[in-house]
Every structure is written in C-alpha cells, then in structure tokens.
A = this chain, B = another copy of it.
C-alpha cells in the first residue's frame, strides 16, 4: 500500500470529546476524561485499529469560560499529558503518543527533555504538538497580568523550536561508549553544547538525555493564522487543522505544502490531517439522529449565546422550536461565519434550538453517515489532495470510538485506504517520515 494513496488517522482525545454534551450521552462514561481504566481501553482499541497516533490536546487554565458554562464542562479536570501518555506507553506497543506543550508558558530545556524521555520510554512513539497557548486566562497562572501578544508568541515559538531540536541533537547516536573495562562512559567529542543566545531564549545545553529514538519526536502544529501556517510550513511534520469543507481544505493543503517547499522542505514530509467529527450510523438518517440527540444535551442558554456570536446579532428572543428567520439584520459579524450558519440551517432544516446546540456542541467538519458513505467521503478528500488523512474527533465514548474502530476502519481497510497492520515500530515509520539527521554530527 503506497503511502500517498492511504490515509493517516490520529485520535484527538482531550477533552475526551470536543462536544460539550458528550459526557451526558446515553452509555457514555461521565468521568471518561479522568478515568485511567477507560483511557487504557480506548488507546488499546485505537492501536488494534492501527491508528497512527493518540493525540492529547491540553489547556493550562480552567477559567476560560463563564461560570455558568464552566459548571457544565467536563474539561475542568483531566490528567496532565506527559504523565498520562507515559503511563499509556506501558500498555501499548505501536501507536504514536502526541502531547501538547506550550512554547509560551514552559522552558525549552524541560520540553526537550520530557519529549525525549517519552520517546525513549515508548521506543520512538512521541510527538510534540507545538502550541503558543491562545487562551488569555493562562497568563494569570504563570505570573503575568496580560497575555503574551500573538506575533510575539509565534516569534518565540519559532526560536523555541530551534532550541528544542538543537537540544535533542546534544549527543551523537554513538556518543555513549559505555566501556566497563576502560571506565569511559561517554565520548565528549560526540557531545554538542548548544550555547543558544537568541531574542527570547538563552539556553546552554547539552540536554541530560540521549538523542531520542526517532532522532526528533514528530513535530505537530495546528495554527491556521498566517504566522501559524508559516510556522507549520517551516517546522511541522503533522498538521492538524479545521477547514470547514473540501474546497477550503484543498486551499489550505496547497498553501501549507507550497510554503513548506518554499522553505526548502519535501512536501511529502508534512502530513495534513484536518479534524473530523465522525458519527457512524446504520443509515445516514440514523447517524443524523444520533447527532441531533447528542446536540440536544447541550445547554440551551450557553448554546444560544454561541449562535448569537456566530450571527452577530442576539437571536435569543426567537422561538427556539421554530426555524431561523431569514430576514436577520445585516451586522458586522464575519460574512463567512454568518453564511455558514444560514447554509446549515437551510440544508438540515434545523430549528433555532437545534442550530444553537450545533454551535454550542461541535460545529466543525463532520462526517455523519454509514461506514460506506464516510469511507467514500474520506477517499474523496484524499484523492482531491485536501488531506493526507484525518484527526478523528469522537462524538461520545465509548460507542463513538467503537463505531469508528469496529465499523469505519474495516471499511477503509477493505478499500485499501488504511493499513491493516503497522509496517514499522516508530511513529515516524507509521507516517512515512524520515528520521532527521543530527545537525551537529554526521
């Protein structure tokens, strides 16, 4: 199966579902976000289904929403990514382990070291999702009154990447002689002292851990802003993005890959996996009914506020169970956002309540259908060069995950769109990415 013709799939597992109502869905584990036994079973099922990676998003502040929304949110307590993924590395053998770590609120020495350690513990399965941390509340947990400004965050992120990758290259692969007879443990000629002095960071090195099994853990990036796309093009090997539809995905795909080539990189060494919310049903109607049921668990007051923001006008006064009036006043809201809402309302014939709960639940790219229709859609995206696979978002657990691993994946495998077994042992091998050369040693 040639890499260019098959999908890569990662599971986006934190919060357990991005859907705010998921923990209330019938049969779901309300504490799944914070229950180790469940998380172990999830990752084992994903490995059995040959997923490329298990991807832990993260956040560094609880107070990122009004208290009335917060009290309904299952995101308020969760395991810390490095401790969790390290634990999960012991119950799995092949699946990649991607953790989010902030370049704004952490130190490159710590980040380089932890990913290197996770990569060694897991025999080459670690990936670093570089985030600059957009939530302005985070600053207050780290000694600052105000959030670090966007362009400054991206400038620091770029430098941070240089430092972390430089630290990973502190030792040549054959630096550790370990000769019990002579007593020589290390060849100092094969140790590089980084001595980085940049605008934002000053780090001497070397790192206190051998070079990672993968050379460098896989670099993941999710930014869609201009600096985010540029950072991804220059550094990322796995891009996680949120296009709304096939056309915008194709544009983004081409844009980022072209930028990567302009930066001197091979366009195949950067895999683009849009986030896709997947609901599998016996029929398309069945899948849509599941989605409506899930959406109905979203709190209406919170949801109508989200919808009002998307439309740029207060719609809380309309009849929740009637259709959205078509003669809404023109406002300063983003036209794209507004047009998207109106198109959705029209296409799916949603009431105001249903539309609001869709926006309060999960309103991004979704594949809602049977294993066959979803496999066809995914194949279409792959053929259209709109993606190299998908970052799968499960609607509810465990059933939403089981539906993907037990029903969708076998259908993808039948069509030759997804691997039947891992061909290698490291995440780089799953993704068809080369092991980076050590920049200081040949």
Give chain B residues whose Cβ lies under 8 Å from the Cβ of A282: none
Query: A186 and B76: CB pair below 8 A?
Result: yes
| A83-B114 in contact given A208-B59, A210-B77 (Cβ < 8 Å) | yes
State the copy count for this chain: 2
Residue A23 CB within 8 A of the other chain: yes
Pick the most buried of A106, A109, A170: most chain B CB atoms within 10 A of its CB.
A109
Query: B30 and A71: CB pair below 8 A?
Result: no
When each residue 29-69 of chain A gets 1 if its CB lies under 8 Å from chain B and 0 otherwise, what string results?
Answer: 01100101000000000000000000000011111000100
> Which bucket holds chain A's interface residue count?
35 or more
Docked Cα-Cα span, A91 to B89, in Å, equals 12
Query: A208 and B62: CB pair below 8 A?
Result: yes
Docked Cα-Cα span, A207 to B77, in Å, equals 8
Residue A118 CB within 8 A of the other chain: yes
Which of A139-147, A229-237, A384-392 forms contacts with chain B?
A139-147
| A203-B143 in contact given A60-B109, A62-B208, A183-B24 (Cβ < 8 Å) | yes
Residue A299 CB within 8 A of the other chain: yes
Give chain B residues whose Cβ lies under 8 Å from the Cβ of A61: 208
Give chain B residues whose Cβ lies under 8 Å from the Cβ of A299: 183
Residue A161 CB within 8 A of the other chain: no
Q: Can you list 25 A-B contacts (CB < 8 A)? A: A23-B178, A28-B180, A59-B208, A60-B109, A61-B208, A62-B170, A71-B187, A72-B185, A74-B185, A76-B185, A76-B186, A79-B117, A80-B114, A80-B116, A82-B86, A82-B114, A83-B83, A83-B114, A83-B117, A83-B121, A87-B89, A105-B107, A107-B142, A109-B142, A183-B299
